[in-house]
Amino acid sequence: MDHTQSSRMFTEAREVLVGGVNSPVRAFKGVGGDPVFVRSGSGAWITDVDGNRYVDYVLSWGPLILGHAYPAVVEAVCVAMRAGSSFGIPTEAETLLARKIIQLVPSIEKVRLVNSGTEAAMSAIRLARGFTGRDLVVKIEGCYHGHMDGLLVNAGSGLTTLGTPTSPGIPAGYAACTLTMPYNDLAAAEEIFAAHGENIACLVIEPLPGNMGVILPEPGYLEGLRALTSKYGAMLVFDEVMSGFRAALGGAQAHFGIQPDMTILGKVVGGGMPLAAYGASAEVMHHLSPEGPVYQAGTLSGNPLATAAGLATLEALEQPGVFERAAEALRQVSKGIAAAAREKGFPIYQAQVGSMACTFFHEGPVRNYAEATQSDTARYAKFFHAMLEGGVYLAPSQFEAAFASSAHGPEEIGHTIEAARKAIAAL
Ligand SMILES: *Cc1c(COP(=O)(O)O)cnc(C)c1O
């Protein structure tokens, strides 16, 4: 494959953009080599600036569950744009999108629209603190909630000690308000709550983690966290920015049957535009300004283009068979990869719920971040580049989910499995 134009553009980009990108993982540090520059996308496919085509399993890191440039979404955004791009005055589309979210996500009675998953997570945690009058937040090692200061934190030296920042620029005092624990470890959670329970505002968790690869909750784990947070009067906050509308139409909370106290949404809910949301019971949301004292605002929040894209996406996703088509495509692709790996005789572990999945180059189950990091990342990097050359775009890191869209049909599935067979045979 020729990558001349991509290489030229990356060289130029690096002169004016940090690392040539606007979000770190795009720079391919996780797999080596240079990123491809995309020209356009249509359905399941993207075309790069050298004219190479790829079946896309990144889909803008999750949002495009209908595929690229889905006609009804394009049309809705164009109509909205012609009517004016932003007002900072209420529009009916905000109500319609909020109503749709409330209808689909079991635990949400009222919602606030914002611009990014990071902003939603940051605001949800402020609300949890304001609602409970407590400062401490518990998070899970390897779960990602955007780049807000207080959550870029590693475990301290012991389980019940306070966290330390993972990035310069974060005051130790922020990190000290965050406690971390491993996923799927209920005993660790019990220990933390026994030590700090009265001061914990919330436990924030990806119920179906997708930012350390995709990891499944063991039976009883989420139920245990639900009971524990209730016992101590702490809020259970589900970050469903990735799993929302992907694990199931109602998110991981619908799939696993657990009611969180607050939910963070992003990605699919914006249909490829910058839009995210957080929601909870009316009682909890009542504490947010302008009704309550917890402040949060945004010039572009509930933006007409973004609400149009989000609403068109959720409405299309509700049509019979659309959600299931994306999930089924991913199941078939995963099966193809597993068969090729088996033939070659090297171990993999796969996890999938709905239309998010991961193939770990790892022997045996992956239950938490520590186990995920034991995966063979060098082998994954080789696989990634072989797939890219074979016309399949996977996430440029072992620790990301693969997504499919309803536009991934038999042709794309066949193309992907064929590329995987060749890639794995050559490993
Ligand atoms: C992507 C993601 C975020 C951050 O969303 P941005 O829109 O990138 O700020 C937060 N939480 C989870 C679970 C995510 O997958």
User: Which listed residue (144, 221, 278, 349) is catalytic?
Assistant: 144
Average of pLDDT values for 48-57?
Answer: 98
Task: Work out the number of other CB atoms within 10 angstroms of the CB of residue 89.
Answer: 5
Select from 183, 211, 356, 369 the residue to mutate for testing ligand 1; criterion: most ligand atoms less than 8 Å from CB.
211
pLDDT of residue 174: 87
Regarding beta strands 392-393 and 356-360, do their DSSP bridges make them parallel or antiparallel, or are they unpaired? Answer: unpaired
Ligand 1 centroid–CA 399 distance in Å is 14
User: H-helix or E-strand containing 53?
Assistant: strand 53-56
- Is the distance from CB of 60 to CB of 44 less than 8 angstroms? no
Q: Answer whether residue 52 shows pLDDT above 80.
A: yes
Mean pLDDT of the chain: 96
The helix (run of H) or strand (run of E) holding residue 239 is: strand 235-239
pLDDT category of residue 166 using cuts at 50, 70 and 90: confident
Check if 211 has its Cβ closer than 6 Å to any atom of ligand 1: yes
266 touches 120 (CB < 8 A)? yes
316: nearest Cα among 255, 264, 245, 229: 245
Distance 426 CA to ligand 1 centre (A): 34
Q: Is 146 in the pocket of ligand 1 (CB under 6 A)?
A: yes
Q: Is the pLDDT of residue 160 over 70?
A: no
Q: Is 267 a catalytic residue?
A: yes
Could you read off the pLDDT of 316-364 as tens digits, one per residue? 999 999 999 999 999 999 999 999 999 999 999 999 999 999 999 999 9
What DSSP assignment string belongs to 310-360? HHHHHHHHTSTTHHHHHHHHHHHHHHHHHHHHHHHT---EEEEETTEEEEE
Centre of ligand 1 to C-alpha 424, Å, is 31
What is the number of the ligand 1 atom nearest to the C-alpha of 276?
Answer: 7
* Atom of ligand 1 at shortest range from CA of 242: 15
Strands 402-403 and 38-42: unpaired
Q: Whose CA is nearest to atom 15 of ligand 1?
A: 242
H-type helices in 212-268, by residue range? 221-232, 251-256
Q: Ligand 1 mean position to 238 CA, how many Å?
A: 12
Q: Where are the domain boundaries for CATH 3.90.1150.10 in the chain?
A: 28-57+323-354+369-426
DSSP 87-136: -SS--HHHHHHHHHHHHHSTT-SEEEEES-HHHHHHHHHHHHHHHHT--E
Instruction: Name which of 382, 358, 385, 378 is nearest 36 in CA terms.
Output: 385
C-beta neighbour count of 102 within 10 angstroms: 15
Residue 233: CB atoms within 10 Å: 12
How far apart are the CA of 393 and the centre of ligand 1, in A?
Answer: 20
Is residue 144 flagged as an active site residue? yes
Q: Which of 239, 369, 382, 393 is catalytic?
A: 239
Query: What CA–CA distance (Å, rounded) separates 128 from 301?
Result: 20
Ligand 1 center–CA 264 separation, angstroms: 9
CB of 63 shorter than 6 A to ligand 1: no
User: What is the distance in angstroms between the CA of the first residue and the CA of the last residue of the chain?
Assistant: 19
132 ligand 1 Cβ < 6 A: no
Residue 32 corresponds to which amino acid? G
**For residue 157, pLDDT beyond 60:** no
Q: Where in the chain is the domain with CATH 3.40.640.10?
A: 71-317
pTM, two decimal places: 0.97
Contact between 53 and 46 under an 8 Å Cβ cutoff? The reply is yes
Q: What is the tens place of the pLDDT at every residue in 57-111?
A: 999 999 999 999 999 999 999 999 999 999 999 999 999 999 999 999 999 999 9
Which of 378, 381, 400, 397 has its CA nearest to residue 389?
A: 381
Phi, psi of 274 (to 5 degrees): -75, 90
Second CATH level (architecture) for the domain 28-57+323-354+369-426: Alpha-Beta Complex (3.90)
Check pLDDT > 80 for residue 163.
no
Place of tokens 């914990």: 200
Give the tokens for residue 238: 């589900």
**239 in catalytic set:** yes
Query: Considering the domain 71-317, what is its CATH architecture?
Result: 3-Layer(aba) Sandwich (3.40)
Q: What is the pLDDT of residue 154?
A: 80
Does 123 contact ligand 1 (Cβ within 6 A)?
no
Task: Pick the range with the lowest mean pLDDT from 55-64, 153-162, 186-195, 291-300.
Answer: 153-162
The pLDDT tens digits for 265-277 are 999 999 999 999 9
Is residue 320 reached through a cis peptide bond, with omega within 30 degrees of 0 on the bond before it? Answer: no
Place 173 in a pLDDT band, splitting at 50, 70 and 90: confident
292-331 CB burial, b ≥16 within 10 A, e <16: eebebeeebbbbbbbbbbbbbbbbbbeeeebbebbbbbbb
